[in-house]
Structure 1
Amino acid sequence: MNARENAPRVSLGMPVYNGANFVREAIASLLEQTFRDFELIIVDNASTDDTEAICRGFAEADERIRFYRNSENIGAGKNFNLAVTYARGEYFKWAAHDDLCHPRFLEECVEVMDRNPDAALAYPKSRIIDAASNFVDSPYVVSEGTNDEDPVVRFKGLVKPHVCYQVFGLMRLSILRQTPLIGLYARGDEILMCWLGLRGRFVPIDEFLFYPRKHEAQSMSFLGNRKRTSADFVAYSVWFDPNWRNRLVFPWWRSLRELIWCVLKAPISIGGKIRCQLVVLRWAISRKRSLLRDVVLQMKVLAASFAPARERSDKSPS
């Protein structure tokens, strides 16, 4: 038998950095799945806490778990994508180190994906939990139209503001690998969902089987209702890729560029692409203030970077 014949049906990718506070509970919830034919790929992004010891302990006890550790922190985006490169299954799911899944999560999602060969992704309803794993009353917006046969309708639903929980759904790996994966910039996960949505339907499951955690230790928490600013997205870009630190970042303009490119590369008709680009145009018009704030903020950053040089020049002897 070759490696593919021995491969599990589902690959779970868990990227983690300093997740000792929740990773044990997250792994346990995956090992309790009623669907057993899976592999768990843990990619430790050079953690400095007890994450490595905890994860190695699980890997030694369960042969379905494969543990990898980066020699240095490569940023959240690259670490998420690294898990995909190790995956061998027919289906793939990202599993955050601090979230939990109902024991029937995989069973229900696999059944839906098997029944819908044109689907790119299956995802259940979500209930938010707190640091103590208690359910909390925190509303979130679900994207509409993503199960439509028309890719333009799906794209329109994914472009609208929503909490991107679909990124933790069960994806068809062959379709996921047709995309650039998570972009190394703010909203890279949301743009990825647009790539997927233009290639297949997102089939919802009407059960609360996914429990994303909301807690103070999160690197960037966008789960609440607080208005997101351009400065937030600059910081979010650095979280995705540390190489953005101390560089000019235009997160909203980057999102616009990536949406345009996503549509151009979509395997849909010319007419469909034109309709999608009109959706992107309306998106840009509705966010003109955010696009302008991007420019203003970065001009302030640029001006501030020249200030010390001007001060040194003023103080130098004539």
Structure 2
Amino acid sequence: MIKTLNDNKLFSIGLPVVKDVFLTEAIKSCLKQTYTNFEIVLVNNAKTADFKDKIRDIYNSFNDDRIKYHENEVQLAMIDNWNLTLKLSSGDLFSILCDDDLWESNYIEEMVKLSQQNLNCNLFHCRVKIIYEGSDRAILSSLCSEFENSFDFIYHRIMGYRKMYLSDFTVRVNALNKIGGFFAMPDGWGSDDLTWFKLSLEGGVAYTSKILFIYRNHKNNISNTVNIKNKWNSIPKYADFIKKYIVGKDLNKKDEILQKLILDELPNYKKRGFASLYHKKIMSYKYLPSSLKKIISKISRLIIFTIK
């Protein structure tokens, strides 16, 4: 067991909980970490008394004083709840683990190492394994550079070259507090991306190719249940935020090129986003014949992947 890595910084795990299905597994993946100087800030944000009771019972079943428990009287909006877990944290480094996902046992150890190897950087992430509910299928996120500046980081994301989530990232707490915590977006859509982009502007982002985070793709994911209207309204807001971040700065030649590429790509990014929502909306129609759905799906996917 690794108790110290140089300065033995306290690592805060934010665990904002709204459902109980995979919660026990998520907590176990935190408690088995090889780096032991951590706290778990579990915020019970369930909507109903029944779910609140189930989550409280799971918390009590562990009887571990590393878990700090807080229960909201009424359900907070997603980003408000994320920011509450941050506010209740005491650590130097911070990461949120969603209640249906998992970390490998050396996740914190590797994030602490990255933070010590990149002292001027505030943002750290890892490679991701994506697993699918009811299936043995799994895929990996694409590899990233060990270090990227903000422009490379944003460019690769909006081009669709990489998958990014919430729980594969760790931040320095003081840097996240400095920008006011996580950005509010409807249903939280894109909030993590925009927060990471903002943090990367000072010091870039460091990466390990070790597969340390396991994302569980299932029908009740936030990303799979997001309100289509809210996501529709979020797409232009997301693009406008990026534009605001990257203009009006003194840039070197490389970043000037990337800045232009990003600005040129933003309209296409919005078109792909809207086309994807059209596809999701059509696929949600229960009484549409499956044969017609397949045809529409092929057409809409073709449109999405040929927008240039």
Pairwise same-fold verdict (TM > 0.5): yes
Which range moves more in the overlay, 193-202 or 102-111? 193-202
Task: Establish whether residue 215 from structure 1 lines up as the match of residue 218 from structure 2.
Answer: yes
- Residue 229 of structure 2 is aligned with which of 231, 234, 240? 234
The answer for the alignment partner of 2:74 in structure 1 is 72
Separation (CA, whole Å) in 2 of partners of 1:287 and 1:127 = 25
Separation (CA, whole Å) in 2 of partners of 1:90 and 1:20 = 28
CA-CA distance at 1:291 after TM superposition? 8.1
The answer for the alignment partner of 2:110 in structure 1 is 108
Q: Relative to structure 1, is the Cα distance of residues 166 and 22 closer, same or farther in structure 2, using a 3 angstrom cutoff? A: closer
- Residue 251 of structure 2 is aligned with which of 249, 271, 274? 271
Q: How does 1:27-106 map to 2 (within 5 A)?
A: 27-48=27-48, 49=51, 50-58=54-62, 61-106=63-108
CA-CA distance at 1:76 after TM superposition? 1.6
Separation (CA, whole Å) in 1 of partners of 2:13 and 2:104 = 15
Separation (CA, whole Å) in 2 of partners of 1:77 and 1:166 = 12
* TM-score normalised to structure 2 length: 0.73
Separation (CA, whole Å) in 1 of partners of 2:150 and 2:141 = 24
- Whether the aligned pair in 1 keeps the contact of 2:126 and 2:209 (CA below 8 Å) is yes
Separation (CA, whole Å) in 1 of partners of 2:90 and 2:152 = 31
- Residue 205 of structure 1 is aligned with which of 187, 190, 208? 208
The answer for the alignment partner of 1:289 in structure 2 is 271
Separation (CA, whole Å) in 1 of partners of 2:155 and 2:166 = 15
The answer for the alignment partner of 1:188 in structure 2 is 191
The answer for the alignment partner of 2:179 in structure 1 is 179
Q: Relative to structure 1, is the Cα distance of residues 160 and 173 closer, same or farther in structure 2, using a 3 angstrom cutoff? A: farther
| Percent of pairs with identical residues | 20
Q: Relative to structure 1, is the Cα distance of residues 101 and 83 closer, same or farther in structure 2, using a 3 angstrom cutoff? A: same
Which range moves more in the overlay, 26-35 or 72-81? 72-81
Separation (CA, whole Å) in 2 of partners of 1:199 and 1:123 = 16
Q: Relative to structure 1, is the Cα distance of residues 232 and 93 closer, same or farther in structure 2, using a 3 angstrom cutoff? A: same
Separation (CA, whole Å) in 2 of partners of 1:91 and 1:62 = 21
- Whether the aligned pair in 1 keeps the contact of 2:43 and 2:70 (CA below 8 Å) is yes
The answer for the alignment partner of 1:14 in structure 2 is 15
- Secondary structure, in 3 states, of the residue corresponding to 1:127? strand
- What do the CA deviations read for 1:164-186 (whole angstroms, capped 9, x no partner)? 23653221112222324132232
* TM-score normalised to structure 1 length: 0.71
The answer for the alignment partner of 2:281 in structure 1 is none
Q: Larger Cα Rg: Structure 1 or Structure 2?
A: 1
- What do the CA deviations read for 1:57-91 (whole angstroms, capped 9, x no partner)? 43xx1111111111112222221121111121110
- Whether the aligned pair in 1 keeps the contact of 2:129 and 2:141 (CA below 8 Å) is no
Separation (CA, whole Å) in 2 of partners of 1:141 and 1:233 = 27
Task: Establish whether residue 152 from structure 1 lines up as the match of residue 132 from structure 2.
Answer: no
- Whether the aligned pair in 2 keeps the contact of 1:166 and 1:193 (CA below 8 Å) is no
- Whether the aligned pair in 1 keeps the contact of 2:167 and 2:213 (CA below 8 Å) is no
CA-CA distance at 1:220 after TM superposition? 2.7
Q: Relative to structure 1, is the Cα distance of residues 23 and 109 closer, same or farther in structure 2, using a 3 angstrom cutoff? A: same
Task: Establish whether residue 24 from structure 1 lines up as the match of residue 19 from structure 2.
Answer: no
The answer for the alignment partner of 2:244 in structure 1 is 261
Which range moves more in the overlay, 78-87 or 163-172? 163-172
Structure 2, unaligned stretches of length 5 or more?
Answer: 1-7, 279-308
CA-CA distance at 1:131 after TM superposition? 4.3
Q: Relative to structure 1, is the Cα distance of residues 139 and 47 closer, same or farther in structure 2, using a 3 angstrom cutoff? A: same
Q: Relative to structure 1, is the Cα distance of residues 28 and 92 closer, same or farther in structure 2, using a 3 angstrom cutoff? A: same
Letter in 1 for 2:156: G
Paired residues, number: 260
CA-CA distance at 1:210 after TM superposition? 1.2
Structure 1, unaligned stretches of length 5 or more?
Answer: 1-6, 223-230, 238-248, 297-318
- Secondary structure, in 3 states, of the residue corresponding to 1:124? strand
The answer for the alignment partner of 1:120 in structure 2 is 122
Separation (CA, whole Å) in 1 of partners of 2:16 and 2:174 = 20
Separation (CA, whole Å) in 2 of partners of 1:62 and 1:167 = 22
Letter in 1 for 2:269: R
Separation (CA, whole Å) in 2 of partners of 1:28 and 1:79 = 22
- Whether the aligned pair in 2 keeps the contact of 1:252 and 1:290 (CA below 8 Å) is no
Structure 1 vs Structure 2 CA RMSD = 3.1
Separation (CA, whole Å) in 1 of partners of 2:270 and 2:110 = 41
